[in-house]
Amino acid sequence: MTFPYQGRDIPYTLTRRRNMKTMRAKVMADGTIAVSAAPRVPTAEIVRFLTANAASLLEMQARALARRAAAPTFADGSTVRYLGGDLTLRWHPTPCAAEREGDVLTVFARTPDEARLAWEQWQIRACVALYRQLNLEVYRHFHSAGYDVPLARIEIKDMVSRWGSCTAASGRVSMNIRLMAYPVETIRGVFYHEYSHFLHQDHSKAFYAVLRGLYPAYDRWDALLKK
């Protein structure tokens, strides 16, 4: 199915859902524009909706396609993003532990799939160590500043729409493993953000007063997550 925009026919997929009350359009990871609508919504109305929102949808589609093109191939000599820089993957043909030396990560791999698995396992171990360190660091800073917050119980997740989340009642903070692609200063900012939610469960002026008061560089490093 397609809709017209500036002389082009833009493809989209349509899913009819009985429990839908409004139309929704989103761009999938592969760049597909996907629409959900109730069975009774006429196709002409869907096309009008898509045409009216085409500019923003095509912008999101371009970003999705750029991310897909930049995704690592895990070939020998390819690169992966790690803490704001690039690590070069080197395959080792015989079994060995993944080892990093400078900006080179050597993994046991004979295929891209094996390299990807070795990278993911190594990244998880690095993530656990770093997040434990930052969790304790931020907790101590809050306490030294006079704020009564718990030492958070950290859960590491692969999240699509959030970098982190805080459940104040249970003292739990969820952190996105995808943050490992960003500088440590950016990850630290997310920890300060979530810890500030122990004191304010909103994004009020009081919340940002605590956050920026304890981490003055927050806005600078958080800006990387908005690109």
CA dist 225 and 130 (Å) reads: 19
pLDDT in tens, 49-59: 999 999 999 99
Cβ-contact 85, 104 below 8 angstroms: no
**Sheet order of strands, 104-108 included:** 79-82, 85-92, 104-108, 99-101
pLDDT in tens, 85-128: 999 999 999 999 999 999 999 999 999 999 999 999 999 999 99
Same-domain pairing of 94 and 116 = yes
Same-domain pairing of 176 and 117 = no
Same-domain pairing of 131 and 103 = no
Same-domain pairing of 57 and 96 = no
**Domain membership of residue 35 as a residue range:** 2-70
Share of the chain above pLDDT 90, in %: 90
The pLDDT of residue 83: 97
The pLDDT of residue 150: 97
CA dist 173 and 135 (Å) reads: 9
CA dist 78 and 7 (Å) reads: 39
Domains of the chain: total? 3
Same-domain pairing of 9 and 21 = yes
Single residue among 31, 46, 70 that ends a domain in this structure: 70
Same-domain pairing of 181 and 203 = yes
Token pair 């006079």 is found at 146
The pLDDT of residue 160: 82
